[in-house]
Amino acid sequence: MTRLSFGARELRDLLVAWLALGVAFAFFYERITITTLGPVLTSGAFLVALAVSLLTAGIGFLLHELAHKVVAVRYGQVAAFRADYGLLALAVLGGLAGFLFAAPGAVVHRGRLTDRQSGLIALAGPVTNLALAALFAPFAAVGSALAWRGVTINLLLAGFNMLPVGPLDGNTVRSWSTAVYVAVAVPSIALAAYALYV
């Protein structure tokens, strides 16, 4: 069985993606624009917003990608996260422009896989986000703003990734098993839509 390990490039890519997504989500949630950027960056309020984003969106992203890697390695794959620096820049600019586009990169792997194994590797990320949302939920229920942000962001990450399009996880899961796809995607997308509008 392949051993779980991390190279220098992968660790750098994970760190850069975590920081970039933290900044993007902080810009978005604090409604920071290009015109207000200068004075805001040095303010205590922005540092708090950045810390919240790193602990919610950032952790959600990191554990999502690590879940893909762990399952891929379990199936004998050589797997590593690779950041997409162009999409990370777009995420930060999107946060400034008032919209979120979080596609920081992906876990790439090589080796022979069955459709089931590919589906389970894809499923691992969104299921991890649903689990994180469930962990945050009791604290959100008693009024923690940080926890509510954790619930919201993880539901959005799960729902978005379960869309059955392009390279998203949902498309891989659907190609393997329509029943599993429906069982996970329907509640994920419904909860993500709910999180957007509450």
Label residues 36-48 b or e (16+ Cβ within 10 Å = b): eeeebeeeeebee
Specify the pLDDT at position 37.
Answer: 67
Residues with catalytic roles: 65
* Judgement on whether residues 106 and 128 belong to the same structural domain of the protein: no
Summary mean pLDDT of the chain:
91
* Judgement on whether residues 57 and 101 belong to the same structural domain of the protein: yes
* Judgement on whether residues 2 and 72 belong to the same structural domain of the protein: yes
Residue ending a domain, choose from 111, 135, 158: 111
Label residues 165-198 b or e (16+ Cβ within 10 Å = b): eeebbbbbbbebbeeebeebbeebbebbeebeee
Q: Mind listing the pLDDT tens digit for each residue in 150-193?
A: 999 999 999 999 999 988 999 999 999 999 999 999 999 999 99
Give φ, ψ of 143 to 5 degrees.
100, 10
Alpha carbon 129 to chain centroid, angstroms: 7
* Judgement on whether residues 64 and 160 belong to the same structural domain of the protein: no
In single-letter form, the type of residue at position 126 comes to: P
Q: 152 or 97, which is more confident?
A: 152
What is the pLDDT confidence band of residue 1, given thresholds at 50, 70 and 90?
A: low
Number of domains composing the chain = 2
In single-letter form, the type of residue at position 185 comes to: A
User: 52: number of CA atoms within 13 Å, CB side?
Assistant: 22
Residue ending a domain, choose from 111, 137, 172: 111
* Judgement on whether residues 127 and 104 belong to the same structural domain of the protein: no
Q: Which domain holds residue 181?
A: 113-197
Q: Mind listing the pLDDT tens digit for each residue in 126-154?
A: 999 999 999 999 999 998 989 999 999 99
Q: In the numeric block, which tokens belong to residue 79?
A: 């797997």
Indicate if the pLDDT at residue 2 is higher than 90.
no
What is the pLDDT confidence band of residue 103, given thresholds at 50, 70 and 90?
A: confident
Q: What is the mean pLDDT of residues 59-84?
A: 95
* Judgement on whether residues 12 and 98 belong to the same structural domain of the protein: yes
* Judgement on whether residues 4 and 96 belong to the same structural domain of the protein: yes
Please tell me the pTM assigned to this model.
Answer: 0.90
